[in-house]
């Protein structure tokens, strides 16, 4: 049986995604947990950005503790601030700083999860819901390769929702664990986060396959979009 894992990040929809995705494990970054509050709750357009409220990870609600194993780890990448251990372009704006911070957080979280898991892994983002998750995992197991699940996502910088197939929503057979660990090590050691989104980099490195199925939903700025 594969582990079904999410990592925070975004704690807004945690209760819903645990139940819908039958999660087995939740990894929480002690340096970065937030919830999203919609400014205008009736506005369902992606242009309506919500407000992030950063939370103390030790104080957030942890639903279904009888069914889910929670893991607290610390990436040491604080929100909205330059980190001494990272490289940034000359005079980056706040958006660039946080974009690079986010890439590194994800790489660190994935690296830690791999070091603690000796099973096949289904990674699902904490704002993504996949209907019939067991059926989807059954299809993914048959591929024998890392395989991503396409999600609806915003094609930034445009306010356009597209099907994106190279996110951190993917199935990793245990036999591919070392390949992903090597890709993440290369990504961090060579500071490739400066020019490369971590999800696209790892999937290019592993030549991941893609799977598009109905019933995949993604919360974008608090509004729910489904394939």
What are the tens digits of pLDDT across the range 152-189?
A: 999 877 788 999 999 999 999 999 999 999 999 999 99
Q: Which residue has the higher pLDDT, 1 or 92?
A: 92
Residue 42 scores a pLDDT above 50: no
Round to whole Å and give the CA distance between 203 and 150: 13
Q: Does domain 3-226 have CATH number 1.20.1280?
A: no
Query: What order do you get walking across the sheet with 147-149 strand by strand?
Result: 69-73, 25-29, 3-8, 121-123, 170-172, 147-149, 209-211
Predicted structure pTM score: 0.91
Q: Per the structure block, which two tokens stand in for 121? A: 């892994």
Each domain of the chain, given as residue ranges in start order, spans: 3-226
Per-residue pLDDT tens digits for 8-27: 999 999 999 999 999 999 99
Please give the Cα distance from 11 to 59 (Å, whole number).
11
pLDDT at residue 101, rounded to an integer: 96
225 pLDDT above the threshold of 90: yes
């Amino acid at each position: 049986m594969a582990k079904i894992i999410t990592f925070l990040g975004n704690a807004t929809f945690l209760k819903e995604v645990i139940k819908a995705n039958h999660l087995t494990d939740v990894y929480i970054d002690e340096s970065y947990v937030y919830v999203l509050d919609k400014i205008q709750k009736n506005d369902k357009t992606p242009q309506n950005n919500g407000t992030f409220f950063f939370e103390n990870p030790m104080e957030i609600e942890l639903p279904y503790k009888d069914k889910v194993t929670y893991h607290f780890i610390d990436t040491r990448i604080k929100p909205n601030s330059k980190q001494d251990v990272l490289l940034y372009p000359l005079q980056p704006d706040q958006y660039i700083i946080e974009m690079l911070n986010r890439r590194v957080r994800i790489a660190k979280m994935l690296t830690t999860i791999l070091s603690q898991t000796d099973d096949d892994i289904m990674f699902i983002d904490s704002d993504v819901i996949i209907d019939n998750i067991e059926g989807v995992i059954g299809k993914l197991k048959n591929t024998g390769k890392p395989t991503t699940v396409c999600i609806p996502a915003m094609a930034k910088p445009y306010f356009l929702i597209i099907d994106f197939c190279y996110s951190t929503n993917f199935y990793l057979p245990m036999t591919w664990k070392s390949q992903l660990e090597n890709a993440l090590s290369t990504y961090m050691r060579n500071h490739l986060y400066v020019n490369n989104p971590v999800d696209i980099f790892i999937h290019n490195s592993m030549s991941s396959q893609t799977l598009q199925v109905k019933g995949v939903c993604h919360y974008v700025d608090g509004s729910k979009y489904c394939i």
